Structure 1
Amino acid sequence: MDVARVVIDAISDLLTAGLAPIPALARYGLPYSLFDLGGALRLAFVLRQIRDTELAKARGLQEKLKTDESPHVREIEEPYIVKDLVTVLMVIYGGELVCSPWLQFTPSFLTAPAYPLLFMGAQAVINLLPSVPPMSIYTELPLSFFDALTRAFLLTAGTPGFILKHASPAIRSSPWALMVSSLVLANAGFFFVNVFQMLSPYGWHIKTPPEFLPGGWRTIDLWVAPLMTGAYAFFTQAQPVWVPYHTYTVTRIGTPSMFGSIVYSELTEDIDLSPEPKVSFVKPMAEADARSVCVLVLAALFAYRAIANFGAEWIKVASARTKRKRVIRSKHDGKRLSKDNIKINHKSG
């Protein structure tokens, strides 16, 4: 069996199992899946990591300024659980707050209270921990695949639904509306958190977000949202505009059959031409397969992000271990010998 087919099917099965409601919780009317629980804890963990890192930096700077007897010592605001709960809700629902008036839909937190309670509960649980490990290659790289699974579902099932099921035909068929809404829905929450510095130890204040600073456009989370949503729409022919491009790709470039199957019309025979099948149309890729391809791409991108952000620390530790292994000393009767002494002893022996 084709290796690519096996991998795609395995990821599809993993998504199906991870997104299925947990029976023990569904019995009590809680529609949570394993990915819901894992994603909520993962987000709360990341916010706690960022908050603790910023707090450690602020305390270090405060001690330095006090030692130098500087009059410009900023006061660190006391942590409070309510601020943390509002922050996690802003990350999750900030995009819906922006898009709901323009796309005319009701924000999901008004109709599904179970999920806001889940994210707030996860944040409260993580806050009870005495400490969490800081972000490093050892935490981010192993979790890159899980992040890809949860993000792929958001960008291929959650976000496109607001556009593809819209009442207006102009919006429903617009690829621009699809990708812009994906960009906003996926990133507006963290954008507002950064604008208002909601994770700052000095309290909330307005500051230019990192996305608008030099080099901010290279942020993977920023542009990966429209990219993956557009790729999903391309492979599944979710909108009419994608059909000719997908058809050309499948028929001309010769992509694997799982990216879309070709349906041929009946054979036609002319006087000067040999019988030749003609392409009637190209079937779209199955939604589960397209989502699995997006998972693979996202996993590679998130792994690259982890290595780019924290790989220097990894290389530094590895090189230090290598240097320690290279320290080899020639010894004779417990004493270190030079090369000349080694030769003399060898001859005398």
Structure 2
Amino acid sequence: MSELLLQPFLEGYRALLQPVAPLAWFGLSFTYLDVAAAFRLCVGLRQLREHLHREHVAKTGQAGPEVEPRSLVRDASATLLVVYGGEAAAAAGLGVPPSFMLSGTVPAFYAAIQAAVNYLPSVPTPRLSTELPTAVLDGFARAFLLCTLIPPMVLQHPWPAVQDSPWTLLVTSFLITNGGFLLVNAFSFLQPYALTFATPPELLPYGWTTTDLWCAPLVTALYALLTHAQPFWAGAHAVALGWLGAGPVGAEAVAAVDPESARATCAAVLAVLFTTRAYKNFGSAEIKVPVAEKTKVQ
């Protein structure tokens, strides 16, 4: 039954992880998931910038900080900071070089996508009808990051103490996923005015409830639990089965789930979380619109 439920996610990954043919002709190994995730991020950042601009003008008018002209350099810098800011912090803590120091291909790719998005005449305003499909894409992209890209930084570390540390795995996942956005918000990169140091929303009251903040270590923990990525997780898997009524189970008797199925499970969990968030943020507003319009007509 579980395999049947995961089949759409397994097949989705097999399709999305195929190399994009035109790029492969030039020796660039970008997949459809890479391209879709990059466009999703760059469009989302433009939507945030435009929302903050409207909000700033509506609240302050001419009395607030002066609105600065946007530049591609600032927007591309914000995008690269989102993508690599957390990795730079985690890599420094782990004592390994971050990926952007080894190759400039991916940074150039993100900068090019951001330039293309900037020159679009417009992007859709976020609403339920657009956010629900992208919530599923976000689930695929975020699970790939949390299950395929991040764990090897810890599991293949030259120090055995780091390899076997579940705490290091969770902290690395948290930093890489959230560090970039924390820095972008701290330095007001997306605001329409000059760069100003400010408290990120995640550090304000109830900022910890932000889905992106806590889902990263949670999903990496789920992936490690299912795949027995470290010795700790094999024992935790056995304990979890005991709590679920399977009786006393030894860690050596619990079979690990294959990485593809575990990643598909994580993608399904994230798709549900992001879909719930989209409905919470945009669903009620869209439901209220027809009622308001009907009242106005009457």
For 2:11, the equivalent position in structure 1 comes to 13
State the shift of 1:318 in Å.
4.4
SS at match of 2:221: helix
For 2:277, the equivalent position in structure 1 comes to 305
SS at match of 2:66: coil
Question: Paired residue for 2:87, among 93, 96, 110?
Answer: 96
Distance 1:281 1:196, change over 3 A: same
- Unaligned 5+ segments in structure 2 are none
Aligned equivalents of 2:265, 2:100: Cα separation in 1: 30
State the shift of 1:280 in Å.
6.4
Aligned equivalents of 1:171, 1:208: Cα separation in 2: 32
For residue 253 of structure 2, what is the amino acid of its counterpart? F
Is residue 217 of structure 1 aligned with residue 204 of structure 2?
A: no
Aligned equivalents of 1:151, 1:119: Cα separation in 2: 16
State the shift of 1:320 in Å.
4.5
TM-score, reference length from structure 2: 0.93
Which whole-Å deviations, capped at 9, do the CAs of 1:54-110 have from their partners, x for residues lacking one? 1122333454x5xxxxxx443111111110011100000001111112212111112
Q: Quick one: higher RCO (CA 8 Å, sep 6+), 1 or 2? A: 2
For 2:169, the equivalent position in structure 1 comes to 178
Aligned equivalents of 2:251, 2:122: Cα separation in 1: 61
Question: Paired residue for 1:54, among 42, 45, 52?
Answer: 52
Does structure 1 retain, via aligned residues, the 8 Å contact 2:184–2:190?
A: yes
SS at match of 2:115: helix
For 2:34, the equivalent position in structure 1 comes to 36
RMSD, aligned α-carbons: 2.2
Question: Paired residue for 1:80, among 57, 71, 81?
Answer: 71
Of 316-325 and 13-22, the range deviating more from structure 2: 316-325
> How much identity, in percent, do the aligned residues show?
38
For 1:208, the equivalent position in structure 2 comes to 199
Which whole-Å deviations, capped at 9, do the CAs of 1:197-217 have from their partners, x for residues lacking one? 001101210000011100100
Aligned equivalents of 1:109, 1:214: Cα separation in 2: 34
SS at match of 1:11: helix
SS at match of 1:90: helix
Aligned equivalents of 1:164, 1:44: Cα separation in 2: 30
Question: How many residue pairs align between the two structures?
Answer: 296
Larger Rg belongs to = 1
For residue 98 of structure 2, what is the amino acid of its counterpart? P
State the shift of 1:184 in Å.
0.3
Is residue 282 of structure 1 aligned with residue 273 of structure 2?
A: no
For residue 239 of structure 1, what is the amino acid of its counterpart? Q
SS at match of 1:142: helix
TM-score, reference length from structure 1: 0.80
State the shift of 1:321 in Å.
6.9
Question: Paired residue for 2:126, among 117, 120, 135?
Answer: 135
Aligned equivalents of 2:228, 2:269: Cα separation in 1: 19
Aligned equivalents of 1:31, 1:279: Cα separation in 2: 39
Question: Paired residue for 2:137, among 125, 128, 146?
Answer: 146
State the shift of 1:317 in Å.
2.3
Aligned equivalents of 1:61, 1:230: Cα separation in 2: 42
